[in-house]
Chains A and B, each alone.
Chain A
């Protein structure tokens, strides 16, 4: 009887010590991992914001492609897809020329992901890789994208591209991967640091000022004031997607 009690005590001690050793061994890893991945509350995307853009087509210069160039530089696309045909190469933002069939009136505007509130690409994605951040930015989690391209079928704005080949020379802020889908993410890495997206900054640097970026939920932001004063249209408003990117002069 007493023998068995001894054994039990020994066993309990041994288990407790083993657990402690194991815990000590794992703990630093867990803590360091948390530290490495932790974001302060201020850095996290918050539903208190909804980031949006307002594009004035009357100010947009027809021949200018500074916004496209800036996006290419910032996110490292537009070069390096050497095997892909022109139809296969990615485009995150493009200049579109529209001509009214009745009047012949010609306009030029940049077109990219419209960051819909109810984004069809997010709805159709089987794995949830196509996702919307709390602050309204729509983007692809390239770690779980399986490359089915259903989001590309669903996007009304043709905003998405599939990567048809292996890529090198990527930027840490804009990872791109073969076999996955990508699109404009409003330069989320810049927005998180309080900066404007690269395209907006370039438009401003070119003295055109056709692109305005800001928080649609903040009534005092420049974009909200301008939208309240002069309004802004959505492309394919009939779809009822409540886009984060609005246009004036359409």
Chain B
């Protein structure tokens, strides 16, 4: 196998600058949405005292989880020593850092008092999984940053294995921690489950790789660099395994809940009677985000088509966002069980299914997270050598025969 040659993209075309301008304007729109929400208060959003976490959190948690997953390719190359993945490992670290930046931006800009971020950075309550996550997120930037450095600077290459291994352990902890934000909520019927941690890890594998694959396909197509079938097939087959893995965890989560009578109420709500949440679960999360992508990836015809795999990846991303919506919003929409076996009513919406209508500002803030991520990637590949010149089969596969 030839040593991969890394080179910046030219980035001189009108299209490139148009892309940056488009992403930049979405990022600016998100900042605008933030000021709009902060100026008068959160009353301009659809969030309330029942649905306390809304659309921004759906996007933020999705992006943070995907950040860890985008590191898949780098982890496989360094930790499991698969040379075929090596050429894409630096890009993998870049996408991971960019996704985490986008996600954290959304999360922070939705805080009631984002001006007090310094408090969150300096005062820690170590019993809070949120505080742990702040350490996980900051550490992720540092560790993955160092990892990228060891790969990009030749005389540091010898340290990339250990850096990669550290990053691998760290990212697993990070996603487990993010899932545990929900897993540790003892009082809510929809959460309070240990499976949340590992489920979020597998979700990260799937969402992160789908975004990574889309970025690779788009970049190589737009820059006229060769992307061989060997790399493409490896990545898409791996993606298929992860999508199936997510479905497995979802089945396990709901089957466990269905066995326990105390969870029948919330299960009936999500799976059967929850209106929009039930529809989102079955049509959005399971069919659109799981079964259709699986079929596209493994069908002998569509599995070979780049277009079909792009569509599958986009569906996985959309399905992932919907899954987050069902978990975060659906979980809060279902009323708290204050008095099991009794009907409850009050002026504070006890005992009723809570309603939530997201506003444009929340959507713009969330989409801005994606825009910031993609802007960072598009800009970084122009100024730094993250991308191999060629991912043609003969360049990446030592056993490739023409």
Please report A residues at the B interface, Cβ cutoff 8 Å.
Answer: 81, 83-85, 87-91, 94-102, 111, 120, 122-128, 144-150, 152-158, 160-166, 178-181, 235-236, 239, 250
B346 at the interface (CB under 8 A from A): yes
The 4 closest A-B pairs by CB, nearest first: A147-B112, A179-B112, A156-B187, A87-B48
Q: What is the interface of chain B mostly: helix, strand, loop, or mixed?
A: loop
Contacting pair B119 A127 (CB below 8 A): yes
B116, B337, B354, most chain A CB atoms within 10 A: B116
A152 to B48 CA separation, bound complex (whole angstroms): 11
Residues of chain B having any CB pair with chain A under 8 Å: 38, 40-43, 47-50, 52-53, 111-114, 116-117, 119-120, 123-125, 127-131, 134, 181, 184-188, 332, 336-339, 341-350, 354-355
Do B127 and A123 touch (CB < 8 A)? Answer: yes
Contact pick for A150, options B127, B130, B332, CB 8 Å = B130
Chain A interface mostly: loop
> B185–A153 contact, CB under 8 A?
yes
Q: Are A166 and B40 in contact (CB under 8 A)?
A: yes
* B48–A85 touching, CB < 8 Å: yes
Contact assessment for A236 and B112 in the assembled complex, using a CB-CB cutoff below 8 Å: no
For residue B47, which residues in chain A have a CB less than 8 angstroms away from its CB?
88
27 contacts between A and B (CB under 8 A): A84-B43, A85-B43, A87-B349, A88-B42, A94-B348, A94-B350, A97-B344, A97-B345, A98-B344, A101-B341, A101-B342, A101-B343, A124-B184, A126-B130, A127-B124, A127-B125, A144-B116, A146-B112, A147-B116, A148-B112, A153-B332, A157-B187, A158-B50, A163-B41, A165-B42, A179-B112, A239-B187
> Are A235 and B339 in touch, CB under 8 angstroms?
yes
How many Å from the CB of A112 to the closest CB on chain B? 10
Known contacts A91-B348, A146-B119; is A152 also within 8 Å of B113 by CB? no
The CA-CA distance from A127 to B112 in the complex, in Å, is 14
10 new A-B contacts at CB < 8 Å, known A147-B114, A149-B53, A149-B112: A87-B48, A87-B355, A98-B344, A122-B125, A127-B123, A162-B49, A180-B113, A181-B112, A235-B338, A235-B339
Q: Hey, which chain A residues are within 8 Å of B350, CB to CB? A: 94, 96, 111, 158
Q: Specify the chain B residue showing the minimal Cβ separation from A68.
A: B347
Please tell me if the beta carbons of A96 and B344 are within 8 angstroms of each other in the complex: yes
| Inter-chain contact A88/B49, CB cutoff 8 Å | yes
Pair B127/A153 contact, Cβ less than 8 Å:
no
Residue contact A126 to B128, C-beta cutoff 8 Å: yes
- Once the chains bind, are A156 and B134 in contact (CB under 8 Å)? no
Inside 8 A of B184's CB, which chain A residues have their CB? Answer: 124, 154
Docked pose: A164 CA to B114 CA in angstroms? 14
Chain A CB within 10 A, most for which of B38, B349, B355: B349
Contacts of A122 in B (CB 8 A): 125, 127
Is A88 a contact of B40 with CB atoms below 8 Å? no
Is the CB–CB distance between B41 and A178 below 8 Å?
yes
